[in-house]
């Protein structure tokens, strides 16, 4: 080999050796028991190094991510090409106790060299979730009565995460995205939370200063009616949060620095016992006609027709108008007494129970009554008793009396019936003369050929077809309609059918990598019947794996989604959006070929896997 070639190879080898370096980065110097601290081991100019090793420690449980992140960087300036390869390992240290603890030494060997991390002391505190997450229950009014409509509000208080090292504070939108929906239970607020998720909405947070500390407050509310005195039963109310433990500075696809969460710890808060108690309604002063209504009401009545004869029906309409502040749930409101006794005994009234109809703040009841005397001049007022929570006492609302005119009915006395029959027997011209004959039907009509003809119906093929055709047509129409209704009501099938087209259009219109990322998340949610915005990165990859994706496709999807999530906290600069769109479209084509599994369970439940 010529000497100059050997010299060039030696220089190149030495340059590569000098360029190789290892950096150990610890995300934070403080933490909590059970919450991991993250160290990133970045190898610049990576070669054939093995995975790092962690020294044994009684204070920490250590975990090394078996799949390091690899970055390749190349550039060419004036025909001179340079390249760099970076390999990043992720090491987790989970503290077992509180106090000042020393992080275990991390060691990496490769190319005949050994790199070790420096001994660092971190401060570990006991895990106190209440310092990061709280739940509060508020009711208006604060001390309601049984049966009174209450405006119930769940207040979720979260401390905004701040990294003093990087000068970054997460806003309310970024903090809400860290809620762990799978571990949350919403009790009586479950329907309200589901409604918000199905319409792709969320509670909007605001800042409050409580005891000198800044909190983000998210509120979720609904009307609630206590049904029994004592502590109100609101079900199991529990909220879980993936609270950040640190922020790290990494590099994006083009090597530019970007911020991302280095780790999270799960904190939970619940309300084991509700301090708000409902007061029992008093027995003193309770009217006999009281049927459980709580609030403020008035009664309006109308009757048609207003001129009838004795015994003729009158349709009596009774409207109960809710005047309560905030309104009441009227579907369970009972009707006022509308019976013979309440109407003064002058009307006949059916005993069947009344079923009212609700229209806004009015519930209407309809009853048919019949006057029993021509001396009646009006329908008496209808009374409706209720408990007024603002006054703490019972009250009775009365309608206005309704004037009516009742005329005597036309009756035929018994002696009039006897006189009519006598005149007919005496030979009245208007009477009909009947002649008795013998022989039955034969005496009325002589037999003819038509009468003696066999009238039995003969069933042939044409008759059978004639009778069978209408039911068959009706059955076919019923099956067709049932199939069409089933397909029309299956919104999940419609989401699957439009998912690819919708995702492709969203990727093409996305202004940045975060928008492209959202389009891929929406595609996976549509294909698996999940609610939009509820799928995490790891869950998306897991669902793709269940659908038949190989390891290469899963890694590509994981890398792309991670890149998009990091862009939420640190927008990407100088990035070729068109190249990312092409990459996302290629991913979409491969994902569209998979055999996705649709969930049968409710979209709010987490996938069992």
Compute the 3-state secondary structure of the chain and give helix, strand, coil in percent, each to the nearest 5.
30, 35, 40
pLDDT for residue 422 is more than 60: no
pLDDT tens per residue across span 293-330:
999 999 999 999 999 999 999 999 999 999 988 778 88
Establish if 63 belongs to a structural domain: yes
**Tokens 């709280």 — which residue?**
134
Establish if 316 belongs to a structural domain: yes
pLDDT for residue 551 is more than 70: yes
End-to-end alpha carbon distance in the chain: 61
pLDDT tens per residue across span 99-154:
999 999 999 888 788 899 998 999 888 766 677 899 999 998 888 999 998 899 99
Domain boundary among 345, 377, 407: 407
* Same domain for 137 and 121: no
Distance CA 122, CA 30 (A): 5
Structurally, the chain folds into a number of domains equal to 4
Q: pTM of the full predicted structure? A: 0.46
pLDDT for residue 19 is more than 70: no
Domain boundary among 109, 125, 141: 125
* Same domain for 206 and 70: no
- Pairing state of beta strands 206-210 and 347-348? unpaired
pLDDT at residue number 12: 45
Distance CA 549, CA 69 (A): 20
Least confident of 225-239, 250-264, 340-354: 250-264
Domain boundary among 220, 249, 278: 278
Establish if 559 belongs to a structural domain: yes
CATH code at position 72: 2.60.40
* Same domain for 134 and 118: no
Residue 554's φ and ψ, nearest 5 degrees, are -65, -40
* Same domain for 274 and 133: yes
Tokens of 35: 């919450």
Establish if 370 belongs to a structural domain: yes
Segments forming the whole domain that contains residue 516: 491-592
Secondary structure letter of residue 442 according to DSSP: G
* Same domain for 92 and 44: yes
* Same domain for 120 and 133: no
Establish if 599 belongs to a structural domain: no
* Same domain for 333 and 230: no
Region 209-220 average pLDDT: 92
pLDDT tens per residue across span 513-532:
888 888 888 988 888 888 88
Region 164-189 average pLDDT: 88
Establish if 318 belongs to a structural domain: yes
Cis ω on the peptide bond leading into residue 305 (within 30° of 0)? Answer: yes
Determine whether 577 is exposed, middle or buried from the number of CB atoms within 10 Å of its CB (0-12, 13-18, 19+): middle
* Same domain for 262 and 337: no
* Same domain for 134 and 83: no
* Same domain for 371 and 306: yes
CATH code at position 567: 1.20.120
Establish if 213 belongs to a structural domain: yes
Distance CA 142, CA 152 (A): 10
* Same domain for 57 and 117: yes
* Same domain for 403 and 308: yes
Q: Is 123 helix (H, G, I), strand (E, B) or coil?
A: strand
Establish if 364 belongs to a structural domain: yes
Tell me which residue of 49, 45, 50, 42 sits closest to 15, measured CA to CA: 45
Region 238-242 average pLDDT: 89
pLDDT for residue 412 is more than 70: no
């Amino acid at each position: 080999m010529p000497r100059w070639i050997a010299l060039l190879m030696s220089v190149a080898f030495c340059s590569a050796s000098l360029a190789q370096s290892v950096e150990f980065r610890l995300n934070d110097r403080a933490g909590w028991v059970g919450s991991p601290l993250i160290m990133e081991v970045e190898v610049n100019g990576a070669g054939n190094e093995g995975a790092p090793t962690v020294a044994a420690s009684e204070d920490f449980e250590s975990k090394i991510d078996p799949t390091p992140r690899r970055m390749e960087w190349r550039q060419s300036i004036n025909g001179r090409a340079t390249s760099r390869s970076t390999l990043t390992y992720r090491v987790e240290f989970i503290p077992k106790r509180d106090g000042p603890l020393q992080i275990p030494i991390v060691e990496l060997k490769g190319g005949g060299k050994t790199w070790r991390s420096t001994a660092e002391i971190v401060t570990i505190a006991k895990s106190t979730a209440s310092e990061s997450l709280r739940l509060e229950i508020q009711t208006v009014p604060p001390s309601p009565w049984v049966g009174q409509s209450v405006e119930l509000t769940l207040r979720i208080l979260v401390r905004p995460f701040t990294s003093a090292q990087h000068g970054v504070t997460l806003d309310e939108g970024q903090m809400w995205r860290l809620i762990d929906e799978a571990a949350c239970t919403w009790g009586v607020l479950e329907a309200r939370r589901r409604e918000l998720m199905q319409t792709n909405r969320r509670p909007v947070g605001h800042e409050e200063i409580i005891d000198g500390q800044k909190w983000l407050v998210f509120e979720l509310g609904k009307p609630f009616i206590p049904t029994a005195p004592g502590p109100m039963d609101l079900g199991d109310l529990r909220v879980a949060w993936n609270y950040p433990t640190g922020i790290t500075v990494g590099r994006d696809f083009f090597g530019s620095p970007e911020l991302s969460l280095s780790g999270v710890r799960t904190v939970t808060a619940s309300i084991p016992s509700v301090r708000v108690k409902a007061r029992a309604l008093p027995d003193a002063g309770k009217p006999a006609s009281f049927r459980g209504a709580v609030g403020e009401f008035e009664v309006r009545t109308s009757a048609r027709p207003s001129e009838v004869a004795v015994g003729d029906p009158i349709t009596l309409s009774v409207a109960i108008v809710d005047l309560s502040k905030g309104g009441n749930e009227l579907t369970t409101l009972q009707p006022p007494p509308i019976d013979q006794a309440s109407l003064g005994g002058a009307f006949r009234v059916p005993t069947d129970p009344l079923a009212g109809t609700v229209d806004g703040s009015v519930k209407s009841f309809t009853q048919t009554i019949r006057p029993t005397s021509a001396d009646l001049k009006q329908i008496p007022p209808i009374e409706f008793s209720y408990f007024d929570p603002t006054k703490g006492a019972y009250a009775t609302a009365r309608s206005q009396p309704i004037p009516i005119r009742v005329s005597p009915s036309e009756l035929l006395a018994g002696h009039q019936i006897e006189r009519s029959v006598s005149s007919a027997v005496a030979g009245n011209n208007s009477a009909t003369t009947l002649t008795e004959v013998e022989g039955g039907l034969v005496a009325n009509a002589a037999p003819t050929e038509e009468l003696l003809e066999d009238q039995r119906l003969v069933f042939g093929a044409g008759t059978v077809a004639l009778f069978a055709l209408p039911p068959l047509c009706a059955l076919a129409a019923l099956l067709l309609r049932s199939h069409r209704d089933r397909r029309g009501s299956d919104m999940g099938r419609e989401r699957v059918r439009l998912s690819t087209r919708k995702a492709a259009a969203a990727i093409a219109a996305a202004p940045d990598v975060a928008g492209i990322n959202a389009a891929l998340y929406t595609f996976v949610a549509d294909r698996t019947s999940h609610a939009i915005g509820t799928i995490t990165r790891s869950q998306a990859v897991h669902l793709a794996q269940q659908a038949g994706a190989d390891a290469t496709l899963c890694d590509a999807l994981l890398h792309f989604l991670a890149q998009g999530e990091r862009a939420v906290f640190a927008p990407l600069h100088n990035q070729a959006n068109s190249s990312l769109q092409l990459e996302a479209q290629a991913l979409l084509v491969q994902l569209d070929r998979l055999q996705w599994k649709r969930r049968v369970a409710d979209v709010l439940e987490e996938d069992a896997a």
